[in-house]
Amino acid sequence: DTKALADAVQVAIDFASEHPEETLILVTGDHETGGLTIGFAGTDYDTYLNLLESQKISFAKYDSDYVAAYKENKTSFEDVLADIETLFGLKTQGEEGDKLVLTPYELSQIKTAYEKSINETATGMDEQQEYVMYGTYEPLTVTITHILNNKSGVSFTSYSHTGLPVAVLAHGVNAEQFNGYYDNTEIFNKLAGMLNVQ
């Protein structure tokens, strides 16, 4: 998605270079998502971003292709762990210092999530605790990805939107009107004013 956005913006930049007197490019988002933080307490605030390269499948694809099949086939926990190692690099054993080896705590988190996702077993947590752990997502998938993120030294404060401001990047005619801080609905008003359609 990030590459696709970059490609789309490049098309606009190429167009603007041919029509510089009549083109304004705006790039923004309707909200910030996830609340990405770098420096996780569990890694003593160090980062190991190369561990993220261990993930070979998207969150959504793992849900649709694997978790759905696990539910249908009642796949054993051991077989699921084998897939987790192949697809996410997380493993139950390895050489000393291997940061992808699961701790007993992490393994218990995956086991609880597996039971919730595959066997619909109660977690023993109250509703609020479960929401903090899983949001509205598949417990197994979200647990695996959170553990990998945390081992890498990153974390997310939210499952969806945050309250942080989003950037509005402007290039071209009247770009200076998009400087500063303002409510996102002001983008419409600024554009309408430029086009005299208020």
In eight-state DSSP terms, residue 133 is H
Report the C-alpha gap between 141 and 161 in whole angstroms.
19
> The tokens 């909200």 sit on which residue?
31
Residue 157 is predicted with a pLDDT of 87
**Whole-structure pTM value:** 0.78
Q: Which residues contact 169 (CB under 8 A, 6 or more apart)?
A: 25, 26, 27, 28
Q: What is the pLDDT of residue 42?
A: 86
Q: What residue segments make up the domains of the chain, in order of their start? A: 2-30+166-195, 49-156
Residue 2: what pLDDT? 86
123 contacts 115 by C-beta, under 8 angstroms: yes
Please check whether residue 71 is in contact with residue 120, taking contact to mean a CB–CB distance below 8 angstroms: no
Low-confidence spans in the chain with pLDDT less than 70? none
- Are 118 and 71 in contact, with CB atoms under 8 Å apart? yes
Backbone φ and ψ of 56, nearest 5°: -105, 0
The predicted structure's pLDDT at residue 98: 97
How many residues does the structure list for the chain? 198
pLDDT of amino acid 73: 97
What does the pLDDT read at residue 77? 98
